[in-house]
Structure 1
Amino acid sequence: MSKPDAEIVQFDNVGLRYGTGKEVLTDISFTLYPGSFYFLTGASGAGKTSLLKLLYLSQRPSRGLIRMFGTDAITLPRERLPGFRRRIGVVFQDFRLVPHLSAFDNVALPLRVAGVSEREIARPVADMLDWVGLGDRRHARPATLSGGEQQRVAIARAVIARPDMLVADEPTGNVDPEMALKLLRLFESLNRLGTTVVVATHDLHLIRDVPESLIMRLDKGRLADPTGALRYPPRRAASPSPAEATAR
């Protein structure tokens, strides 16, 4: 099977340290391909969150090379960062919803920041809330939503702009096993649409539920068996977007 035309992310001997401390990530090298599903695993303190910060560009490495979408991400001019980051959706374990905004307005926020007109926002946001099963909770504020509902709003917000890559940091850590499986199915659906998905988790049950996924395991700041992260999985057939599927 041939590889895709271009990688979506490439790390080459990346190291990261905070301040003058020792490296928390050492000699990290891997390639992520478009439309693939990856799990990032490792014990607490192994460096998963630090690696994700590099992936969604909230942190620059101390050394090494990072290319994203065919561009050197380390030397990217500051003025290009906002547009670049819009290609990356992020789901946090603690949701990070804006408390005074409704579910609808939280999901709409990335579109408004990007300058999308209000008349072009209503339908996509409504469709996305329907997709995550919260169409009837669009006016609810985060404090009135359960943990699973808040996480689904966070997922909808992360993918409303159709990012090329979704990065999720322990997204099922604050929900029960049944809801964790539902969230995983949402990630799988998004992946089938062509989005590259990276999920950091310590839950082995989730990993077993996605047999076509690839696993990157961190051990004390190093990738264990990095060759396992470099093999290319079968390409999946494209499916309609959530909005298109709802429209049909």
Structure 2
Amino acid sequence: MGLRYGTEAEVLQGLDFRLERGGFYFLTGPSGAGKTSLLKLLYLAQRPTRGRIRLFGEELADAPREALPAFRRRIGVVFQDFRLVRHLSAFDNIALPLRLAGEDDRTIEGPVREMLAWVGLADRASARPPTLSGGEQQRVAIARAVIAQPELLVADEPTGNVDAAMANRLISLFEALNRLGTTVVVATHDLSLIASVSGARMMRLEGGLLSDPTGELRHPPTRGYRA
């Protein structure tokens, strides 16, 4: 599989890997290696310009555009630039995936309050994104991504704006979600973060190429997602 933007050279080339369903993966590599582009393929914001991608048992490289939102609702995404809805409170930003899934407001209140407390923002529930610090916005974005217990969680530098203690707390949240069966892919430069998760696998991108020294990405032990 490959990806290029316009007529430029491919930013990703020769990708051929499978993620184990329920696995925990860290994606590393130097700046400009294509990590964000690879994540965009995984959360269906970008289609490969050649090859195929298979998620949730479906071939999606050529799927009709109108079919993609249903698949995206099964994916939680933590963006580098947060992408919070500016006119909504922290509470309502976190509640958004549940409301889009059709859940009643009476059933949303408890889980959202619990998530706000977990990320240390219980007292900021009514605050809107422009009044939050970068670290607070990042925690709201992470809470929004995990609140609906997605089948696949994709996070782009999710701990870049928080201190070490909060970074470890957020990674513990990812691990808890992973234990419930969510496949987790985290792009990061933080090697200490990678070392903190027992059993996590590491993928490395450099020059648009994905390394697979152990062969685990091509031949994982169980069924998974193919790209």
Assess same fold via TM > 0.5. Answer: yes
Aligned to 2:204: 217
Aligned to 1:144: 131
8 Å Cα contact 1:41-1:216 kept in structure 2: yes
SS, match of residue 8 in structure 2: coil
Aligned to 1:183: 170
Q: How many residues align?
A: 221
By how many angstroms is 1:155 displaced? 1.2
- Give deviations 1:59-97, integer Å, cap 9, x for gaps: 000111110010001122222211110000000122221
SS, match of residue 54 in structure 1: helix
Aligned to 1:243: none
Aligned to 2:77: 90
Amino acid aligned to 2:48: P
Gaps of 5+ in 1: 1-13, 235-248
Gaps of 5+ in 2: 223-227
1:100 maps to 2:100: no
- Name which of 55, 58, 67 aligns with 1:68: 55
Tell me which moved more, 225-234 or 153-162.
225-234
CA distance in 2, matches of 1:146, 1:16: 34
CA distance in 2, matches of 1:100, 1:170: 24
8 Å Cα contact 1:214-1:233 kept in structure 2: no
By how many angstroms is 1:98 displaced? 1.7
How many percent of aligned residue pairs carry the same amino acid?
69
Matches within 5 A, 1:202-213: 202-213=189-200
- Name which of 206, 218, 229 aligns with 2:217: 229
By how many angstroms is 1:213 displaced? 0.3
By how many angstroms is 1:125 displaced? 1.9
SS, match of residue 175 in structure 2: helix
- Using CA pairs under 8 Å that are at least 6 residues apart, name the structure with larger relative contact order, 1 or 2: 2
8 Å Cα contact 1:212-1:233 kept in structure 2: no
CA distance in 2, matches of 1:187, 1:45: 25
CA distance in 2, matches of 1:107, 1:67: 28
CA distance in 2, matches of 1:180, 1:195: 19
Matches within 5 A, 1:1-248: 14-225=1-212, 227-230=215-218, 232=220
8 Å Cα contact 2:18-2:220 kept in structure 1: no
CA distance in 1, matches of 2:48, 2:130: 36
Query: TM-score if structure 2 supplies the norm length?
Result: 0.89
Query: TM-score if structure 1 supplies the norm length?
Result: 0.82
SS, match of residue 120 in structure 1: helix
* RMSD value, Cα: 1.9
SS, match of residue 14 in structure 2: strand
- Give deviations 1:210-246, integer Å, cap 9, x for gaps: 1310011011001123524346479xxxxxxxxxxxx
Larger relative strand fraction: 1
8 Å Cα contact 2:152-2:182 kept in structure 1: yes
CA distance in 1, matches of 2:189, 2:151: 24
